[in-house]
Chain A
Amino acid sequence: MTPRESETMSIFSPALAARFDALVEKYPVKRSALIPMMLYAQDEIGYLSDAVIAEIADRLGLTELDVRNVASYYSMLRFKPAGRFNIQVCTNISCMLRGAYDLFDRFQEELGVGHKGITPDGVFSLEEVECIGACCWAPAIQVNYDFHDELAADSVPGILQQYRERAAANGGR
């Protein structure tokens, strides 16, 4: 096991690097930090780039293959960038019964992209997802981690506007 080349050479922000340093100490086994680390790294970098995988593997003493094996299992983790705001439309049964497909169609129409598409300006990406645990408030979506529930196709322009403004105001997150 080679020690990490340099503590200062992290590709993550100092805050996230510090969070990871603490995270690996939390568990009886260091490796338990792997999934949270990948998700948090993705939140910051946008996706699991080769460099992210290399650093996480290094921090946990795993092979990059091992990290990829695990990462590719989980549907929230991605190896390619998404839009700044990733719109995830649940179309599973409870949402479907209450118009999720109309909602998804409307998003496609408004954004001009389909499933897993990214708008040319990079502000939005669209994804049809499985149940997000908001069945009683269907149809529901998540924009990044924010829930929006009890929607109708007509709610789409308002939601997009809200995020467009956020994108314009602070350049993103």
Chain B
Amino acid sequence: MADVTFTVDGKKLTAPAGTLLIEACRKAGIEIPAFCYYPGLSLQAACRMCVVRQEKVPKLQTACTTTVAEGQVFVTESPEIAQARKATLQLLLGNHPLDCPVCDAGGECELQDMTFKYGAGESLYAEAKQHRDEQQWSPAVFFDRPRCILCYRCVRMCGEGMDVWALGVQNRGVSSVIAPNGEDHLDCEECGMCIDVCPVGALTSGSYRYKTRPWEMNHVSTICTHCGDGCKVTLGVRQSHEGTDLVRGDNRDKSGINGDFLCAKGRFGFDFVNSEERLARPLVRNASGRLEPTTWENALRVAAAKLKEVRDSRGGDSIAVLGSNRTTNEENYLLQKLARTVLRTNNIDHVRTADYATFARSLAGQEHKAASLRDAGNAPAILLVGGNPTEEHPLLAWQLRSNVRLNKARLYVVNHRTIKLERQAKAVQGVPPNGYRDLTALLDRNEGDLAKAVMAEESLLLIFGQEYRGEQMEALVSWGLKRGNVRFAYLGDHSNSRGAADMGVLPDLLPGYVSVNAPGAFAEEYAGMPAAPGKTAPEFLEMAQSGQLGALVVVGENPAQRLGWAPDALRKTFLVVQDLFLTETALQADVVFPAASLYEKTGTITNTFGDVQLAKKAADRPGVRPDFEILVRLADAMGADVKALVPFGKRGMRADFGQSRGAQSGEADRHAVWLASHGLEPKLSPFDPLAVLDEIERLVPAYKLDRLNLFAGNDVPTEPAFVPVSALTQPRADLVNPAHDGLFTSGTLGRYSAYLREIEEHQAHQLAETAAD
């Protein structure tokens, strides 16, 4: 639409014709109050708070439904308007409980804020307020009816936004009430979006209610540690006698890739951090064969001495390293560098949830073909092949739904089962479970509604699931490349699976998918690196069973559970485990290091779309250390040259080894974003992951990051096309082992979230009830 010029409060504004006045004003910095208006949801004009005066119009108009046109003149603040807003507030406050001192929303309440602004100080009424008892609708959602001001945000968010439609409005007039679909309980996806959008304390969160006051928390925006989408989550952190408590997860900061969205795991699944089962001290297996707590110095000494002994006596190739899908890029990078240059082995792998190596190989040399997760929210046409985003990639599902709903995007779904996103699809094509291979031929033959519609699209965002690996993926991508104007995205599990692969936690590929056989610059950088590719994770087990595996370092992974390794398989192997919990794997270890979770450290992670984001340290946990620090200390204890491993202290600066370790040192919590964004800040500590980020940027062409954006908290795309074509090898598609975590599961980590377990049990109970009906 063409731009029009109109006047608001004496200022000339310009916006496309048809823009909602409330939006045009907000963009110009003029805030118009509203309860019911919520960007992206259907218009209500119900709360009447956004009334403004339009010239030549007799009644006050609602800014949320008025569209701007050339020459209009508006007044948004005047005694008349203030009175109208005040009168509305007086009506609401007539029955709204003034339990603000104990209300979860107190201090973060839009009704409080507006009352503060417009005043409605004295009550006009003598009648008693009507009290109703609070109801628990699910483990996640509590409803306090008298606090509800009926803005209908929750109803719309649940229906329009989430496509769950679990909330409704019942009765009428002053008896109107928000009602859940199970009459007295909710049967839903437990995303908690209704709680997020509630402007008052009517909907409160089971995980947070009555725990603290909002102003007693620090609010830290970081990246969720669960699925591969990488939502920004705002963690509410409170000081406690032993460091900090994480008390809340929500989406208060809407600047992330996820915009308004956050799922149950992101919102509620942070509580593993506070689990009583968290390891707090290093453990070393004693002479009698039992794990016993010890000091860091001792544990490091034991681990380093044994690793060094195995390396020096049996050779580096008798050592293996298993990395994590959740640790940061810097940690993954450091881990493989440590393996290759300190342990001198290429026996490094991780539990691969997707075949990212083939994805990178398929797109090598093809610039601007990889999609960002943001593209899912604005591409005009999307072909979704395989996968089940609603369960496994909730943000992607939200983006697709929103794109269809708000931008009239066309979604095409090809799947071997029925997935919920079909409800938004323009066409659906079923395939047999092993029939994805034939899809490109079907499309080329223009056979069926979906093929016809897809082939008629000018551009396409092609998103495919873990059903695609190896040759099959290469065939699909090459079909898309031939067709032209196609962008690609590939779906894998866990928060940093993509990063683990990108950072070369692989036996045959170095960071950036550079082949070990043709290491290029790495040959010089990684002094002492073995020349031949190493063994894969399943081969580690074989080595262990045959007694060839002298030592195994496992960082943030649980192969005993995830890969089904038998409890005694590692009997003859010296096992070092870094983890948050005493997992099935850690139980067999000789040395266990208590590690920090993603919420307790800083670093970058890469979502499955290749978008890099900065995870910021939110909490402190006594006794634990980031994997990065553990690795550096281990290398140091082994006598390695730490400066070669971590390029810290450049320009002649020196630093200690942690004597000054406080809450901040060793982390990237720099006050000067500008310095960081230009890579100019002094990396004083060997524990500063940003020192390694410098090296990643230098050596991995795909990670040429826009640092200013990264440090400002934005997602920054990578460019997988920058994989050197000369370095291509045939990846091992057979090693892919998807986790298929659903809305309430998250691998080993999820098992330690009491809250997610509770929700899962509630869901199972609901399901059983429904089945019994």
B181 beta carbon closer than 8 Å to chain A: yes
- Which single residue of chain B is at the shortest CB-CB distance from A68? B170
CB distance from A59 to the nearest CB of B (A): 17
Q: A69–B169 contact, CB under 8 A?
A: yes
CB distance from B420 to the nearest CB of A (A): 13
Q: B170–A69 contact, CB under 8 A?
A: yes
Q: A64–B172 contact, CB under 8 A?
A: no
Quick one: which of A51-104 are within 8 Å of B by CB?
63-66, 68-69, 72-73
Find chain B residues with CB under 8 A from A65 CB: 165-168, 179-181
User: Contacts A63-B181, A64-B181, A65-B181 hold; do A73 and B171 have CB atoms under 8 A apart?
Assistant: yes
- Which single residue of chain A is at the shortest CB-CB distance from B155? A69
- Which single residue of chain B is at the shortest CB-CB distance from A65? B181
User: Contacts A63-B165, A65-B165, A65-B166 hold; do A72 and B181 have CB atoms under 8 A apart?
Assistant: no
Q: B179–A68 contact, CB under 8 A?
A: yes
User: Contacts A65-B179, A65-B181 hold; do A72 and B166 have CB atoms under 8 A apart?
Assistant: no
Q: A72–B165 contact, CB under 8 A?
A: no
Find chain A residues with CB under 8 A from B180 CB: 65
Q: How far is the CA of A65 from the CA of B180 in the complex (A)?
A: 8
Q: How far is the CA of A152 from the CA of B688 in the complex (A)?
A: 91
**Chain A: interface residue total (CB-CB under 8 A):** 8
Find chain B residues with CB under 8 A from A69 CB: 168-170, 179
Find chain B residues with CB under 8 A from A68 CB: 168, 170, 179, 183
- Which single residue of chain A is at the shortest CB-CB distance from B182? A65
Find chain A residues with CB under 8 A from B168 CB: 65-66, 68-69
Q: How far is the CA of A72 from the CA of B173 in the complex (A)?
A: 11
- Which single residue of chain B is at the shortest CB-CB distance from A66? B168
- Which single residue of chain B is at the shortest CB-CB distance from A62? B165
CB distance from A150 to the nearest CB of B (A): 31
- Which single residue of chain A is at the shortest CB-CB distance from B773? A54
Q: How far is the CA of A132 from the CA of B165 in the complex (A)?
A: 35
Find chain B residues with CB under 8 A from A66 CB: 165, 168
CB distance from B745 to the nearest CB of A (A): 27
CB distance from A75 to the nearest CB of B (A): 8
CB distance from B339 to the nearest CB of A (A): 54
Q: How far is the CA of A150 from the CA of B180 in the complex (A)?
A: 45
Q: How far is the CA of A156 from the CA of B181 in the complex (A)?
A: 43
- Which single residue of chain B is at the shortest CB-CB distance from A54? B773
Q: How far is the CA of A68 from the CA of B522 in the complex (A)?
A: 67
Q: How far is the CA of A167 from the CA of B167 in the complex (A)?
A: 42
- Which single residue of chain A is at the shortest CB-CB distance from B180? A65
Q: How far is the CA of A73 from the CA of B173 in the complex (A)?
A: 9
- Which single residue of chain B is at the shortest CB-CB distance from A67? B168
Find chain B residues with CB under 8 A from A72 CB: 170-172
Find chain B residues with CB under 8 A from A63 CB: 165, 181
Quick one: which of B151-169 are within 8 Å of A by CB?
165-169
CB distance from B590 to the nearest CB of A (A): 56
Q: How far is the CA of A65 from the CA of B182 in the complex (A)?
A: 8
Q: How far is the CA of A154 from the CA of B172 in the complex (A)?
A: 36
Q: How far is the CA of A63 from the CA of B163 in the complex (A)?
A: 13
CB distance from B179 to the nearest CB of A (A): 7
Q: How far is the CA of A48 from the CA of B179 in the complex (A)?
A: 17
Q: How far is the CA of A69 from the CA of B168 in the complex (A)?
A: 6
CB distance from A5 to the nearest CB of B (A): 11
CB distance from A6 to the nearest CB of B (A): 15
- Which single residue of chain A is at the shortest CB-CB distance from B181? A65
Q: How far is the CA of A66 from the CA of B159 in the complex (A)?
A: 11
Find chain A residues with CB under 8 A from B172 CB: 72-73
Which among B165, B167, B170, B172 has the highest number of chain A CB atoms within 10 Å? B170
Q: How far is the CA of A66 from the CA of B158 in the complex (A)?
A: 13
Q: 16 interchain pairs (CB within 8 A)?
A: A63-B181, A65-B165, A65-B167, A65-B168, A65-B180, A65-B181, A66-B165, A66-B168, A68-B168, A68-B183, A69-B168, A69-B169, A69-B170, A72-B170, A72-B172, A73-B172
A-B interface, 4 closest residue pairs, ranked by CB to CB distance from nearest:
A69-B168, A65-B181, A72-B170, A65-B168
Known contacts A63-B165, A65-B166, A68-B168; 4 additional CB pairs below 8 A are A65-B165, A65-B180, A72-B170, A73-B172
